[in-house]
Amino acid sequence: MSDKQIFIAIVGGVAFAFLGGLLVLPIQWLAHAKDAGDDIGWGLIWIGLMAASGVCGFVFTAKWARKRYPDFQP
Confidence of residue 36 (pLDDT cuts 50, 70, 90): low
pLDDT confidence bin for 19, thresholds 50/70/90: confident
How much of the chain, in percent, has pLDDT values that exceed 90?
Answer: 0
Domain residue spans in the chain? 3-68
Give the pLDDT of residue 27. 74
pTM score above 0.75: no
Distance CA 14, CA 17 (A): 5
Q: How far apart (Å, rounded) are the C-alpha atoms in residues 26 and 21?
A: 11
| Top-confidence residue, 17 or 42 | 17
Q: Is 72's pLDDT higher than 70?
A: no
| Residue 12 burial (CB count, 10 A) | 21
Q: How far is CA 30 from CA 2, 12, 16, 33, 56, in A?
A: 43, 28, 22, 8, 24
